[in-house]
């Protein structure tokens, strides 16, 4: 099984482009803080490169910006290439299947007609109950 779930903040504005065949692709990086502190008492941060394809890529390119918080669900993908000096480099990317925008719409500077960016459901409000109404 190859599945990763990350929540972090964009470290730069997303880069939206198209492949030669016209498929949208969006690339960005997120910073994810670790849950624990090191021996010095500081929390370390990991940085992950994210790649998003097609319609999700277009939405990410349109609505995300540096600093926005996102949740990403996807898979890890390893690739290698030769740099300009001929040295072989290995890179691990996260290919996102799902991206949920966690920064509130008004904090993103979007208009009211921007799409709903969170699928979290609101909890129902419970009625106040008087102790005299309890059967025990």
Give the whole-angstrom CA distance, residue 89 versus residue 94: 17
Give the whole-angstrom CA distance, residue 7 versus residue 41: 22
- Model pTM? 0.74
Residue boundaries of the structural domains of the chain: 4-133
Q: What digits encode the pLDDT tens for the residues 86-115?
A: 999 999 999 999 999 998 877 655 544 444
Give the whole-angstrom CA distance, residue 108 versus residue 118: 13
9-13, 42-46, 71-75, 103-107: range with lowest mean pLDDT: 103-107
Does the structural domain 4-133 have CATH classification 3.30.499.10? no
pLDDT at 37: 86
Dig out the tokens for 47 from the structure.
């940085």
Q: Report how far apart, in Å, the C-alpha atoms of 48 and of each of 8, 12, 33, 34, 41 are.
A: 9, 12, 11, 13, 23
Give the whole-angstrom CA distance, residue 10 versus residue 50: 10
SS3 111: coil
């Amino acid at each position: 099984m190859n599945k990763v779930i990350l929540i972090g903040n964009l470290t730069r504005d997303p880069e939206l482009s198209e492949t030669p065949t016209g498929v949208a692709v969006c690339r960005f990086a997120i910073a994810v803080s670790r849950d624990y502190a090191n021996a010095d008492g500081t929390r370390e941060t990991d940085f992950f490169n994210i790649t998003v394809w097609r319609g999700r890529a277009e939405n990410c390119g349109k609505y995300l910006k540096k600093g926005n918080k996102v949740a990403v669900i996807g898979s890890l993908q390893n690739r290698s290439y030769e740099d300009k000096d001929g040295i072989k480099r290995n890179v691990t990317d996260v290919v996102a299947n799902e991206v949920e925008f966690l920064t509130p719409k008004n904090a993103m500077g979007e208009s009211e007609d921007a799409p709903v960016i969170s699928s979290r459901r609101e909890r129902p409000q419970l009625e106040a109950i008087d102790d005299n109404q309890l059967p025990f």
